[in-house]
Structure 1
């Protein structure tokens, strides 16, 4: 699933809403570590910090 849709990887749901809605975060992607073979991974940006 991660390779097909990286924006859905590691998505967390709370009370039926994704965590980015609760945090007013934007979702993006970055290149994962070598363990994942460099495939895209999901990131979230909250108040200028990217996780």
Structure 2
């Protein structure tokens, strides 16, 4: 993967979108495993920011 410094804004947005989707999939798996009560509603916001 090339350095983040060399990416365009659009490429960075796409990368963030992909990573967000990956994190969402992990959260879905955790929820399906019964951990939903332990995942805060703002988990993704905390992780990203």
| TM, length-normalised to structure 1 | 0.25
Greater percentage in helix: 2
Query: Computing the radius of gyration over CA atoms, which structure comes out larger, 1 or 2?
Result: 2
* Structure showing greater relative contact order (alpha-carbon pairs closer than 8 Å, 6 or more residues apart): 1
Greater percentage in strand: 1
